[in-house]
Structure 1
Amino acid sequence: MTTIELPSRASAAPPPAPAPAKPSLVGLTRERLAEALSEAGVPERQLKMRSAQLNHWLHNRGAASFDAMTNVSKDLRGALAERFTLARPEIVSEQISVDGTRKWLLRLPAQGPRARPAEIETVYIPEEGRGTLCVSSQVGCTLTCSFCHTGTQTLVRNLTAAEIVGQLVLARDRLGDWSGGAAPEGAVVPGDGGRFVTNIVFMGMGEPLYNLDAVRDAVEVMADGEGLGVGRRKITVSTSGVVPEMRRLGEETGAQLAISLHAVRDELRDVLVPINRKYPIAELLEACRTYPGASNARRITFEYVMLKGVNDSPAEARELVRLLKGIPAKINLIPFNPWPASPYECSDWETIEKFSEIVFRAGYASPVRTPRGRDISAACGQLKSETQRMRAKERLALAAE
């Protein structure tokens, strides 16, 4: 594991700070960019053209200064600079796993005069021929899934759409992943030419469907072909089962759907994923059957964490197959990623293979997700756990002084 120390290293408790006097334009939708341009004095008849121009510079070229926008007039650049910035989320720390996974702890401006700056984590996972960015949609989490360390943290607030998109912009900065021009100073450029961000998964901190308006707008910006250009079929939104919002997610974003399932019986899922008490398995799966756009070409992903002696029996594998009948699906089997004081253990490898074989023989793709970034607490269900542990150590050190 490598940790890159940056000037903005986290303190034991970030002090309260006001929101910046000038907001950033990074991550805004075209509609919001048009509003910013109007504020800067651009005539209404020019707003569509100018917002497209600005969107290209911000989200296709990765411009970090207004001066880089060479086809924008000097007067307009000055007017924008007076009112706005192009700031990205602040990097507190960057950790690099032995397997190439990168985790960024990011600090966001405070929302309000009495609030503290918010901190989230974002993870980049390089794979052969693709690179996946796992983004957060909330600060903390409102759910209390018993196997997930992220779920032990309280919800602080929702992220804005721009803060969600900002995670992708920041990752492209660090990876040198912009079209045209050289990588910015300090960027960590992939060495094999194929490990850039190609896929987005909303599987970081938070429940995306409890922040759907912002998630919808973020997907719009990410999928803009003249901007960030990540295809909607390359964007996956994972939910623990907020049934009333699932149809709207499909209709308004066109994103791929993933379901954090993890159990085939309501009495067990009530413990593992407590939202099941509100939206039980039968109701959740019916919403999957009617999810807009679901087909064999656009299968729903069902995530199933493998917990030793809890949900990993052959009988449960067969029941999973029965439950998913008629749903265009693939099943991701996730070896449990341990965290301190967790009551669970990862299933034995032989058990996982038997479970996978039953599902595969029933006609479902059932890949076993290779754990990535465990050594930097960047694997599924581990986000921010290491950060909290470090903070606890710092508080103890301060108390001893």
Structure 2
Amino acid sequence: MTTHEAPHSSPPAGRTSRGDRAPRRAETRAVVWWAAGLLLALLHLRAVGSAVVAPEALDHGLLRDVPVETLTTGVAAFAAVGSALAAWMRWGRSAARGPRVVVAVGTVVVLLCAVLLVDATVLAGLGYLPAILVMSLFNAEVRASLDHYVAPDFLLQTAVLCGAVLLAVAAVRSARRSRWACERCGRRHDGADPAWTTPDAAARWGKIAALVAAAIPAFYGLTRIAWALGIPLGFSRESVESMREVDLLGPIGLGTFALLGAVLTLGLYQRWGDVFPRWILGLAGTQVPVGLAVVPATVVAVAVLPAGISMIVLGLSEGLLGLDAETWGAAGPAFLWPVWSLALGAAAYAYWLRRRGPCPACGRG
């Protein structure tokens, strides 16, 4: 099989590309991660069965009201399905449509379960972290809040999101193999790549996605900064003053993180996102590593989706999603978080399509 093969040709029987012969490291990591999760879930299930204690790590997300034993059993089943799917993606050889459909449906179900188990804990942790790291240098009470990042709920939700990402990556690589495309870059070996994946096309729709992905956190961040300054933007003055007396770090940290993220998101389509600008000493004029832009954007996109869904459900259940002048700022922006997640993921993918260059596995590009 060569790169000069005529378009739309089928692969010769028994032949594979260099990308297909490469070790399936992503799939292997997914198998190990989900198998370890299954083992921990079974150990935890045994502990719950012998001494019924409410596990703090599971007392979050949309399923927090489910009985402890039921939820723990469900998590074990969730991990078992995830590990089985990852194993099939790693070692499965069947090219039949039936097994592939079953795996695809199973993967979607597992990813949906991951969303149900996660709330805004991880996203809030990411939002608070910059301010906490700075202020912890001068304040012992703030330093104590770093314990949040080793708390059971934060660790579990982070593990669930990491497992979801690993499984999604394994699923994408498996799907690429099934349509005779390079596992690493996604380019088809017959040259029949979709027109929307070309650099020029990705630049066009990626710009739109980046603008949407920047506007939503900017809107959210402005409300939080306004509250920190005592301005009742979308919130009653009494509520703002009460919040400022109790927790000023929250709105400052989340607002600053959101505004900084909005600015950085614009780099996914602007030149300074491809080449370091002149004012960055030592790096001016050099190319920005693709991963330096794609990885953080992907992390935020993954954390935002379950956070937004949980905030919407919580807001609806507690009547916090009103649109009047004194309530819309509290949880109203969360309605846009799922859109933010999808737009940011699309913008990051478009950036990668523009800058991926020749593939080291298959040589195309």
- Scaled to the shorter chain, the TM-score interval is under 0.3
Higher-RCO chain (CA-CA 8 Å, sequence separation at least 6): 2
Task: Write 1 or 2 for the structure with the bigger share of strand.
Answer: 1
Bigger CA radius of gyration: 2
Between structures 1 and 2, the one with greater helix share: 2
Instruction: With the length of structure 1 as denominator, give the TM-score of the two structures.
Output: 0.24
